[in-house]
Structure 1
């Protein structure tokens, strides 16, 4: 067997594989002998079928199968030994009038080669690193929610501002008939609020759904309708009051603090506010880091120039799906995936150049931390080491789970690497400011 390579340019090559009869004949003969031993052909005893008949019936199929196996093994070995960094998979070149009746064969494969490039982390325009903080309004809102959660409902005769009114929304034409409780502070506009003020059990209130609540999404819960329907819904509904309640807030005292955070962990309202800010910062960190990673990705793609074997990749895309694609479909798919491929190459280059890798102990520790955090959410604060090890072993034995966790861990390692090696514009924002800046 002989393998040679011709480099077309820096990104494309053709590998030629010559296979001679001596490379495959011994294996083919052995398989055909085994076939002869086990063949059941009418008119012949088992094991006594003439070899000529076996070759006639099975010879071509066995030959093709063995040559293809030999070809694939040889090609994979060649790519490994030559340390060729290829994109996609080798594509066999079409050969007109290929003749399997010959004894020697030549196969050619197109290769798409990974480009050689450098990654410069010193970008001209630094990425913005958002630090999301809880402002006073958010803290006060969170405190009020805590007081509501541990407060109590007190029944009353007539509704006033700030009360909760239970009842049923109805609209026969739209099939709406839903029991719910409306927090009057979530109604939009004085006109809607005034319709509820003074209402008592048995009263029916006519309302228009357009602009009924501050947030249109509240219509989903109160009317039991689909999400898409809630936006700009403009119909008349009847609300029949069944009960009026006033929400008494829990006192901001040690009893409440202990319920929220454990005994004596928080002792004053000032400490409560600090705790809320601290917890909010931890929750916002994930969003901040995700946005930072997104922005770094875009910046590195923009800042790192290299060519790709575009024509080869489009041809390869045509062949990899369950259904073959047309040239036009493959070209369209390439345009969609090109940016992702570029970042994959950049990421791989950074990992290789900086020895960023994951070993099993890293992965096990990462999985264990995830397990502990999840168990803590369900009140299991101190699981045994054996229990954690058993769960981690079970999770990591699942290849899909192990791969998912590996990708998460490598993402964290990369982000930490970027934070240590890139310059950023630090910007402190409230969550509302962050959402407006990123999504609007």
Structure 2
């Protein structure tokens, strides 16, 4: 067997694989001998079928199969030994004149090669790294929400602005009949608010769904209609008031602190505020880091210039797609995926240059933290190490879950590299202002 490479340019090459009879004849002969021993052909005893008949019936198929296996194995070995960084997979060149009755064969493959480039993490333009803080307003709102959540309901005969109202929405024509509880701050406009305030338990209010709530999505929950219908819903509904309650805030005392955080963890309102601030800002770090990762990704793609073997990749997309694609369709798919491919190459270069690695032990520890967070959501705040170990092992036995967690851990490691080496400017602000600046 002989393998040679013709370099077309820095990004494209042709690999030629020449296979002779000596490369495959022994394997083909062995397989045909095995067929002869086991073949059941009418008119012949098992194991006594003439080899000529076996070759006639199976020889061509065995030859093709073995040559293709040998071709794939040798090509993969060659790419590994030559340390060729290929994009996609080698594409076989069409051979209309291939004659399987010959003894020697020659095949050609097109290769698309990854470009060589450098990545400069110290971008010319500094990238904003947000440091999000829980300000007094947020902490006050959180304490108020906790006090109401753990407070008690006081029954009312008449609805007031701070009431929680329970009742049934009805529209017979639309098949709507749903019991719901709402607070009046959900309502849009004074006209709707005035219909509720002063109404008594047992009263039926006539309401219009258009502009009834500040958020049209509330119609989905309170009327139980689907998403598409909620946005264009313009009907009349009746709402019969079953209950009106005022929620009396819970007292901020040790009993409440222990219920929230465990016995003795928080012992004063000042410590409660500090705890809320600490917990909130821990959650903010993840959102700020995700924003940083997105911004650095965009900047690196813009700053890191290199060519790709575009024509090869378009042909590869056309050849390997699930559905048959035209040249134009393959070109469109390439345009859609080019940006993602560029970042994959950039990310791979950063990982290699900075020797970022994930060991199995690191991944298992990460999986255990993930499991612990999931369990905490269901009130299991202090699981035994053996339980975490067992569940994490089961999670990692699922290839999809293991891949997902590995990608998350790699993102965290890359963010740490960026924080250390990228050109960042820290910007401190409240979470509320962050949302306005970034997402509005």
Query: Shorter chain as normaliser: what TM range?
Result: over 0.9
Task: Give the aligned partner of residue 2 of structure 1.
Answer: 2
Task: Give the aligned partner of residue 330 of structure 1.
Answer: 330
The answer to whether the Cα contact below 8 Å between 2:89 and 2:111 also exists between their aligned partners in 1 is: yes
After the TM superposition, which segments of 4 or more aligned residues of structure 1 sit over 6 Å from their partners? Answer: none
SS at match of 1:74: helix
Task: Give the aligned partner of residue 96 of structure 2.
Answer: 96
Offset at residue 198 of structure 1 (A) = 1.8
Structure 1 residues 244-283: aligned runs within 5 Å: 244-283=244-283
Task: Give the aligned partner of residue 43 of structure 1.
Answer: 43
Query: Is 1:19 matched with 2:19?
Result: yes
Unaligned runs of 5+ in 2: none
* Alpha-carbon distance in 2 for matches of 1:80, 1:107: 19
* Alpha-carbon distance in 2 for matches of 1:98, 1:92: 13
Structure 1 residues 420-431: aligned runs within 5 Å: 420-431=420-431
Offset at residue 232 of structure 1 (A) = 5.2
Task: Give the aligned partner of residue 217 of structure 1.
Answer: 217
Structure 1 residues 154-303: aligned runs within 5 Å: 154-231=154-231, 233-303=233-303
Task: Give the aligned partner of residue 133 of structure 1.
Answer: 133
Task: Give the aligned partner of residue 417 of structure 2.
Answer: 417
Offset at residue 173 of structure 1 (A) = 2.7
* Alpha-carbon distance in 1 for matches of 2:424, 2:182: 46
* Alpha-carbon distance in 2 for matches of 1:416, 1:75: 38
Offset at residue 318 of structure 1 (A) = 1.2
Task: Give the aligned partner of residue 349 of structure 2.
Answer: 349
Query: Is 1:33 matched with 2:28?
Result: no
Structure 1 range deviating more: 305-314 or 327-336: 327-336
Unaligned runs of 5+ in 1: none
* Alpha-carbon distance in 1 for matches of 2:389, 2:266: 33
SS at match of 1:18: strand
Structure 1 range deviating more: 194-203 or 53-62: 194-203
Give the length in aligned residue pairs.
Answer: 440
SS at match of 1:132: strand
Task: Give the aligned partner of residue 400 of structure 1.
Answer: 400
**Residues 314-364 of structure 1 deviation map (CA, whole Å, 9 limit, x = unaligned):** 111112232232211111111111111001101111111111111112112
> What is the CA RMSD across the aligned residues, in angstroms?
1.5
Measured at CA, do residues 154 and 141 of structure 1 come closer, stay the same or move farther in structure 2, by a change above 3 Å?
A: same
Query: Is 1:108 matched with 2:93?
Result: no
* Alpha-carbon distance in 2 for matches of 1:381, 1:24: 63
